[in-house]
Structure 1
């Protein structure tokens, strides 16, 4: 007896069955190595803090100013209030160096509308300069520029340093009172009771010169374009060495539309405009040092 343990394939099925094909294993494909992502800076100081860290590690005044100005989340402002925030900001700026200001991301002499683009150069110690090299600094240069502007915040800061960095003038917009711009030189308030231009210039690394609103009753006074909005201009001269200020107001016969000042020894020569200065026709010659009160 034949037992049928399994079913035998029929001839037809054998013919239809596909031939056996030897399958070869595919070689593994080498996957590209993923590029390492750049480190993400997560602390509140951001990329600028990293760029200026070598300098800030050496400048305590710079660190204090950087933290106060950056103020992540406006926590400092909410704690102390706007008035105290501005007051202490001026205190910090009044003892700051050019590199401290550059680290804030302010515009500079090179470009007023953007922050420093070469901190690896500007954060270095300044090199000794002589002669004409002492007049003004424009980066990229070791030690940073000598003037800084804030074009992005309501404070509209302007900080001007002397060539030797011994003195600095700080302009700050102030919308809390009647005056739109206030000025301090080395922390000393200057001409706080009159309207000032938002920037000025240094004369001989000692006198800070800034234009101010002219007298309303001047016969030639009228509205004009600009910060002061007046045609006849007064002049403020602050002596940083003596911490003393002189305010020069033009008289009825003095048509000061673009007043200029030059120092001549112990005197200051005041001119109505650039043409008068070039021709050396001063309207006044006054002592450089203001008289004692």
Structure 2
């Protein structure tokens, strides 16, 4: 049987996903939290979509953006978890080269979309707090649709070159990916060519998505905080700030783990490989699980409608 570590090939037909390197014996146990997180993400996202659909009072820009976030969470988690669980449960490690690139595209596209939706939500909070009388005239349904389309197009177009660049590289080292999914940087490392263009483009996408989006969100909240501190009473300030709490929580839950993972990847060379991989997985799986929980618990309108749904006694 040929050794896949030394086989020469320029366009591999398959890659081998290693799962969590060094923890193969514990894959079945690791699958339990992965399965639970996926189930919570799916159930929570569909619940948010259902509640917003059936409650007319939630047909507002903030909740439309929340629905976009729920759909993005579904795409993100479904792009990763089913294949990961097939590795953990059935040792199904092979993935077709084209399927690997497709998975990579959807992972990076969904990540960019999630970041863009947070910017849209920050814009909604800015208009609602700084220009409350003009909120309904500025963020009309057509405007919300245009913002959503812009987020989708930006994410899709920025992620599109990633798999096309990777497809052109020759691969003569190995086809083993030390992760349970196809990430851009992991596949680039397998190429036996000068892949600086892929690395530079990956950094460019990171800057365009994370960098610019964090700047726009920070600018929005700077103006929001200025408006809040100008309110006459403490109760008014706390009430207004409370409308931003859920948004701030999901932002922190998305950007802080991503920043930690990026810094650890670049500067934590002495950290065990399995810890790197686990952190990378958590960065992608925690937000889809936490987002519907945070919005369901902290957003009174969603929480009240959900409680009414479970407590109403017949027609």
Category of TM-score, reference length = shorter chain:
under 0.3
Tell me which structure has the larger Cα radius of gyration.
1
- Name which structure has the greater RCO, CA cutoff 8 Å, separation 6+: 2
Structure 1-normalised TM-score? Answer: 0.25
